[in-house]
Structure 1
Amino acid sequence: MQIQSAVASSGRKLTSGVTTEPARIVAAQRLRHQIFTCEYGADLETDGGIDQDRFDPWCEHFVVMDQHSEVVATTRLLHGDVAARIGGFYSEDEFNLDRLKRNPGVFAELGRTCIHSDYRSGAALSMLWSEVAKYLVQEGIDYLLGCASISMLDGGYKAWRITQQVQQEHLAADDFRVIPKRTLPHLASHQLKTDKVAIPPLLRTYMRLGAEVCGEPCWDPAFRCADLLVLLHVDKLAHRYARRYKLEARTA
């Protein structure tokens, strides 16, 4: 496991890297269970307090650890070549990606991103993205996919308002559009307020990095949320990540 380190605003030292160690992967899965099931109320199949599925054995697992080597943030990445061998991406359970996948280039999918509540000030998420960006550049990935979730506690109003907001400036071209398999019910236009609402942190980070949304949201009953399929052109990744690692790759 290659390690990079940083100090969070709280003064706590953080380290990050890609791990293949079974114990660290299980620790990441326990964090996922703690966040998704215990904190957000997702209805996931769990085993002994861990969140795991059929994609985990095929993914690269990224972790951020605190000074006690406890995993405080994690995400996973599935390479497109691997996805083709195992029957597709996780997001293909929610969206028809046929049109998108006809585009030339190498795809990868990011998922199960979560951060412990004590470490959501920014440093942990930044370190995760730094590790992911390095991997994307080193592996020659052209496009990164991911599902960005929006709460449905209000019945869907917030989900549609956020969808409208991001589609105004960040809608993908027709060739990259996807079709949700469980369409989120449309709400009458006169019922939707015109004022802006807060965009969830992960989706906001995607947009800041130059990502686009690939169409309408999908209803995710397991996570009890609405998901937008997000596409990030790796060449457009923010300067502090992509250009930094491309420069290193060219001069290595």
Structure 2
Amino acid sequence: MLPKMPSLTKGRYSARIADTPEDVKQAQALRTHAFATEGQDADEFDKICTHILIEEVRSGTLVCCFRMLPLNDGSEISRSYSAQYYELSALERFEGKMVEMGRFCIHPDWSDADILRVAWGAMTAYVDDNDVQMLFGCSSFSGIETADYLDAFAMLKARHLAPKRWLPRVKAPDVFRYAARLRRRPDAKKAMLRMPPLLRTYLMMGGWVSDHAVVDRQMNTLHVFTGLEIGAIPPARKRLLRAVAG
């Protein structure tokens, strides 16, 4: 397990690592509420992940959470949550430390953009403190109707597909092969409006995605594998992130 991240406070919000089983239960409760799942949103990965909690300082309300699974290098990629849905053998050659970020959610009643900024600040602090070279995970679109997101998928095809050396292959039984099927030119405004905020941030930093989306009927989402090589983040963006993390 990688060393712990120091707590971080910026403005109204603070970020910290979950220290107790009760902290993890609170994260699971927020996930259940945010994802509207039947039964508690919990799985075996919760036991091996580091959970990050973003709280409103004054009230102590949990407004955002996510979990991180550290890997020493790509040889451990099969341990990840994402490996259940994507064939990731290409990434087994990745030589640096990796962290899978998952189950990211923001409380449905809280829409402050600073929450996402503090979350990324916490991730940046963790990445810097532990010499992480790649972040990855599954970025989810709400619902499973592909027609709602055709411009977004066309934009991903046009500008953001993974490099061939890292490209995930199909593993899940139900997928939307958007890169092969779509021939439309994306409407940039519509595409960004329908792009999930977390994925939008990944892309702004130079992130890339799989050429297909997995149809997850249990979670009622479409998701794409998303990778971000830390060395590829533009310097100006790194400075902004470190200003929050610092």
Contact 1:181 1:218 in 2 (8 A): no
Structure 1 residues 62 and 241: CA distance shift in structure 2, 3 A = farther
Q: What is the match of residue 151 of structure 2?
A: 161
Query: What is the percent sequence identity of the aligned residues?
Result: 25
- The answer to whether 1:77 aligns with 2:73 is no
Letter in 2 for 1:136: V
Structure 1 residues 87 and 176: CA distance shift in structure 2, 3 A = closer
Q: What is the match of residue 208 of structure 1?
A: 204
Q: What is the match of residue 231 of structure 1?
A: 227
Q: What is the match of residue 34 of structure 2?
A: 35
- Cα shift readout 1:121-171 (whole Å, capped 9, x = no counterpart): 211111111111111121111111111111345x31234432220231222
Deviation (angstroms), 1:172: 1.7
TM-score (norm 2): 0.82
Q: What is the match of residue 14 of structure 1?
A: 13
Letter in 2 for 1:73: C
**Between 20-29 and 236-245, the greater mean CA deviation after superposition:** 236-245
Letter in 2 for 1:125: L
Structure 1: how far apart are the matches of 2:96 and 2:78?
Answer: 18
Letter in 1 for 2:232: K
Contact 1:151 1:226 in 2 (8 A): yes
**Between 53-62 and 233-242, the greater mean CA deviation after superposition:** 233-242
- The answer to whether 1:150 aligns with 2:150 is no
**Between 160-169 and 106-115, the greater mean CA deviation after superposition:** 160-169
Could you tell me which of 3, 8, 29 is aligned with 1:4?
A: 8
Contact 1:235 1:242 in 2 (8 A): no
Q: Where does 1:56-67 land on structure 2 (aligned, <5 Å)?
A: 56-66=46-56, 67=58
Q: What is the match of residue 178 of structure 1?
A: 168
Contact 1:214 1:228 in 2 (8 A): yes
Structure 1 residues 142 and 78: CA distance shift in structure 2, 3 A = same
Structure 1: how far apart are the matches of 2:143 and 2:107?
Answer: 22
Deviation (angstroms), 1:215: 2.3
How many pairs align?
Answer: 231
Deviation (angstroms), 1:109: 0.3
Letter in 2 for 1:14: Y
Structure 1 residues 85 and 174: CA distance shift in structure 2, 3 A = closer
Contact 2:27 2:53 in 1 (8 A): yes
Structure 1 residues 23 and 207: CA distance shift in structure 2, 3 A = same
Q: What is the match of residue 89 of structure 1?
A: 80
Structure 1 residues 169 and 69: CA distance shift in structure 2, 3 A = same
**Between 164-173 and 84-93, the greater mean CA deviation after superposition:** 84-93
Stretches of structure 2 that go unaligned for 5 or more consecutive residues are none
- RMSD, aligned CA: 2.8
Deviation (angstroms), 1:175: 0.7
Contact 1:107 1:141 in 2 (8 A): yes
State the secondary structure of the residue aligned to 1:147. Answer: strand
